[in-house]
Structure 1
Amino acid sequence: MLLFSIIQIVELLTNVLVMLIIIQFVIGLLFAFNVINSGNQFLMTVYNSINSLLEPVLGPIRRIMPRTGAIDFSPLVLIILLQIVLIVLSNIAIAAA
């Protein structure tokens, strides 16, 4: 039972991280295409806050990955890695049951 609780907590944290990555991506696109002015203090604060939360996780991935120009694939890699961790944990829990 404890293992299933741990897996549920990891799933919750994974979902939160994925949502933050998507929000960061959408706000970044809105700024990049001038849909929203970068002078909008509220969205700039939200964007900077999300960046400061995600940078400790995305930074090491960015250092390992090759440069791809203007496209940053590190959020996609993080989402894939998180999903792999969830699959492995689920299989461990099934095997232990």
Structure 2
Amino acid sequence: MITILKILQLLLDVAFFIMLVHIVMSWLINFNVLNLRQPIVAQIWDGLNRLLEPIYTPIRRMLPNTGALDLAPLVLFIIIIILRDIVIPDLARAVLM
């Protein structure tokens, strides 16, 4: 059981860093530091969007419309941090008892 919890924690860490890369990349694209006309940038951006949009879409449906401000990544960050730092360690302690 502990192994499954460690694997889950690893997957949550990977998801956290993928989201972080996506957010930083979106800022760089919006401030014209990165250009989507560059093939490698466009491929990475497309891959990240294909990976994260199915996760963001249900969250966006539950949140109120805030116009250009997208709060879905923030909500997902909070969910990942809660799972990674609170729920999984508590489950691990419960399993060890």
Q: TM-score, normalised by structure 1?
A: 0.88
CA–CA distance in structure 1, aligned partners of residues 40 and 91 of structure 2:
43
CA–CA distance in structure 2, aligned partners of residues 92 and 12 of structure 1:
15
Q: Assess if the C-alpha contact under 8 Å between 1:24 and 1:47 holds in 2.
A: yes
- C-alpha displacement at 1:96, in angstroms? 2.6
Query: What aligned pairs does 1:52-71 form with structure 2 within 5 A after superposition?
Result: 52-71=50-69
Q: Assess if the C-alpha contact under 8 Å between 1:18 and 1:79 holds in 2.
A: yes
Structure 1 unmatched runs, 5+: none
Count, aligned residues: 95
- C-alpha displacement at 1:89, in angstroms? 2.6
Q: Assess if the C-alpha contact under 8 Å between 1:61 and 1:74 holds in 2.
A: yes
CA–CA distance in structure 2, aligned partners of residues 34 and 88 of structure 1:
39
Q: TM-score, normalised by structure 2?
A: 0.88
Does residue 90 in structure 1 map to residue 86 in structure 2?
Answer: no
Aligned equivalent of 1:24, options 22, 25, 48: 22
Q: Assess if the C-alpha contact under 8 Å between 2:2 and 2:92 holds in 1.
A: yes
SS in 2 for 1:35: coil
Identity, % of aligned positions: 37
Structure 2 unmatched runs, 5+: none
Q: Paired residue for 1:6?
A: 4
